[in-house]
Amino acid sequence: MKGHDFQYWSRPLEFTADGSILPLQWDSNIGDKNFSGMRPQRFSADKVIVESATYGDLASQNPARIRDVKTKVEQALRKGDRRFTVSAMAEGDDPCYGTVKTLKVKYRLNGQPASFTGTDPELCDLLEQE
């Protein structure tokens, strides 16, 4: 093994319940230790207060195609899911099957107002400080 080959190692791929591949995340325990300080600071889930979360065809403004998913987002945070795909909100109750849906979350992170908006293939991480 060449001395520089270790920089290309990564964690094994992780999959969502629907079989999608989660994006690779930086792990300072793998690869070049010189970059371990470059990760953004993270906060614990108890620092997040979800004020509202809606999921579905938000552009249509049709209540039959939109779901209140505040409880689902809170459950994901409580069980330690730091990151989840937006499409995970469709599990058990897809508001408009076959349509790309949007997740919109308004929340507080360490008391500061924050929001997230993303579509089905995207990864949601409410604990990431930008």
Residue 14 in domain: no
Domain that holds residue 118: 45-124
What type of residue is 112? Q
pLDDT reading at 6 higher than 60: no
Whether 50 and 73 have beta carbons less than 8 Å apart is answered as yes
> What phi, psi does 25 have (nearest 5°)?
-115, 145
Residue 86 in domain: yes
pLDDT reading at 84 higher than 80: yes
Q: Which residues contact 80 (CB under 8 A, 6 or more apart)?
A: 45
Of 113, 100, 21, residue with least CA distance to 55: 100
Q: How many domains does the chain have?
A: 1
The mean per-residue pLDDT over the stretch 61-84 comes to: 90
pLDDT at 46: 65
Q: Residue 4: count other Cβ atoms within 10 Å of its Cβ.
A: 8
Of 62, 57, 51, residue with least CA distance to 116: 51
Residue 27 in domain: no
**Per-residue pLDDT tens digits for 87-104:** 999 999 899 999 999 999
- d(Cα 102, Cα 58) in Å, to the nearest integer? 6
Residue 31 in domain: no
Residue 90 in domain: yes
Lowest mean pLDDT, pick from 7-16, 42-51, 119-128: 7-16
Residue 29 in domain: no
Lowest mean pLDDT, pick from 2-6, 9-13, 20-24, 104-108: 2-6
Percentage of the chain lying above the pLDDT 70 cut: 72
- d(Cα 24, Cα 100) in Å, to the nearest integer? 22
CA within 13 Å, CB half, 44: 1
Residue 72 in domain: yes
Lowest mean pLDDT, pick from 17-21, 59-63, 103-107, 110-114: 17-21
What pTM was computed for the model? 0.64
Whether 104 and 68 have beta carbons less than 8 Å apart is answered as no
